[in-house]
Structure 1
Amino acid sequence: MDSINEIAARLDACQKCNVCTAQCPVAKVNPHFRGPKGLGPDMERFRRGQFIPGETTLDDCSNCKTCEVTCPSGVKITEMILAARRAAQKSSQKNGLGVKLRLRGYVLGRAEYLGKLGVIWPLMANQALKIKLMRVALDKGLAISQYGPLPAYGRPLEVTPGKGEKAGAAAGKQVVYFPGCYTRYNEADTGRIMIKILEHIGYKTIVPNFHCCGLPLEANGQFDQAQKNGLYNLELMRPYLEAGVPVITSCTSCGLKLKEDYPKLPVAAAQLIGAQSYDLFEFLWQLYENGELPLDFREVKASFGYHLSCHLKAQGIGTPALRILGLIPGMNVRNLDAGCCGLSGSYGFKAEKYARSMKIGSALFEAVNVGVEHGDFQGMLTECGVCKVQIQHGTAVPTEHPLRILARAYRIIDD
């Protein structure tokens, strides 16, 4: 918990410039939303950890962190809103309010367990989720939108706990891979290709049996479980972190969670994770700058549009994927820079948020459609799995993770 002095210092850093609200994707489409400044620093002065009855717009925040990226004073606005949401959620439980929405939060927050169920019979699960009656039942029963795009399940990514192996230099070059729930259960091919890429450049990849990073849990009011997951995951990473082994992720939201939230957990390993966790392309670019990245690329003649996800932008590492892909002969990638896709994890799955999420993503959808119609590119690239789902839902344009392009250049895959 932050001290009273730390909270006061963060509040005083807010200059009331309203840049955060001007750039907030939710505020642009919802005139009733108070905006990040209103829900964060402004209300925090009165709230100071206490729930204000009737403050319903707390749940309108999509946790995209655009406000924190744009704030010139570095105010952690989203942290304030999440803390207030935690207080509101506890108050709601005490008063027995919102049972239906709390049940929905429990279901959407358990992305890991949904994934474990979905991959038992993925074909049947995918077909069931396409049945209109099923979608209507989810809408009426749990307020999960019948129109929203639900990710498909597939063969899960195998874990390699690495028991009995030594961590660190004595065992050769190693990395720990934190795949995240989407990669592990919905699109495991991305994880398998990533492991092959790391093997190609000389790294052994360890995939411990991690739990969900905790971000979906927090976004749906399951704060205590999110912390338990974080502590569990850090304990799995601890021997590798202590040996200086990097932790790599191909999921932008998981990467942000590891870098920004895990360092605040009350265990010794938390002091190491922030500096030792990397987005895949961030890690590869560091190798390139050190002259350690193999550049045995074949030509890949293709043109793509690129979407920079909000949670990658919030990491402050720029666009390393574009820099790496720019080294591949024949590649042409255009950064659309068209704003948030609108899905924001599970935000756009919710019945009352679906139409709003589509409005948020409309500028991106238009940019994608115009680019394809003008022949500027034929497909889209993005590191974020849910952004991919939303782009394909909003445009029907094929979208993939940029590591697949790198795998083609390295002759790991042919498609």
Structure 2
Amino acid sequence: MMTMLELAVVQAPAAQMFDPVAATHAYLATVNGAARARSDAYFEGGYWLILWNAVVGAGIAWGLLQTGIVARLSGKAEAWARGRKAGRAFLFSILYLALTSIVTLPWTIYVGWLREHQYGMSNQTLPAWLGEWLIGAAISTIVGGLALLALLTLYRKLPRSWWAWGTLASGIFLLVGLLLGPVFIEPLFNRYTPMPASPLRDQILQMAQANGVPTDNVLVVDASRQTKRISANVAGLGPTVRVALNDNLLHRTSAPEVRAVMGHELGHYVLGHTASLLIGFTLIAGLFLLVLDRATPWLVSRCGRSWRIAGRDDPAMLVPATIVATVLAVLLTPVTNSLIRFHESQADYFGINTSRAPDGWARVALKLGEYRKLEPGPLEEIVFYDHPSGRTRILMGMRWKAHHLGEPDVQ
């Protein structure tokens, strides 16, 4: 048995010889040629999708306003609601959300199915994809209708402070989604089954229980029906907490890689990221509503006569508001991405430290590089990345490794 002094003597030269930067470059050099070009093209195409999604969304809203379709929907909602303002707001929201889902379907098919097949990321047939789209559209229409009803009611009844109360309402809707999503929504799209007994399952549970995550089970989701991507999550709050990994992660990676990923996901729970992200996105929602409060009336005053929007009580105010929100969302892309990326970086370090598998983490980062550009420029990463880049993640792992070389439990 080595004494602590002997162990330190062995570790010191090894740590001095190990260069984290050189090790990072060595890992990155294993992905090149066609694979690197395809990954870069896929991810960089996503930059343009931010713009084109906004153009499509705002353009359709503008077109529906200009053609009078929005005014007619508002009139129908008013007739069906028989003078009840809340009923009119809810019916209009449902009609508008359903209509825009249908009108944007060709674009959605391109982005969500055709483009994924072009880059070899999807395993799903078009009929299967359309079936899931239909379920998702129905849920979004109903839930979105309720959320918009709340905001439109506040907008009508509290003209000065509606945006502040709307911020609180947005936080409540986000919280309810976090609680109910893992239990009621996600199982509509995938099957969650207990992970078979194995040493790897025991190791995941050991990491979870050692860090206070209240679970005695690990679930496997059949994501390979839809995609080739690897993923995992610790979702839910309180009684709905669930530790899950997808079957791609289980079948395409080694045990140290799985442990590294699960350590990352456990980190989100242990570090309280659900609460901090909930607060962060609630505040961002408040900023959106404040801007909408100022900009939407201005836009309506310029064009509202041709759009036939009657005024504050008309739920058609929602549509010019979506145009303003779409533009604002594009402008705030670096802010929302940086908020998420900060939390992901924290979870990265927690995961490496918990799994003690820096090389497993590096190999996972390369697999994630199948659809994320591995080596962006600094500004590019700040603006467009909602997770740290592959280079950043591997370098973090190699730096951790340099400080722990020779320790017996390092994978």
Q: State the structure with more CA Rg.
A: 2
TM range (shorter): under 0.3
TM-score by length of 2: 0.26
1 or 2, which has the higher helix percentage?
A: 2
TM-score by length of 1: 0.26
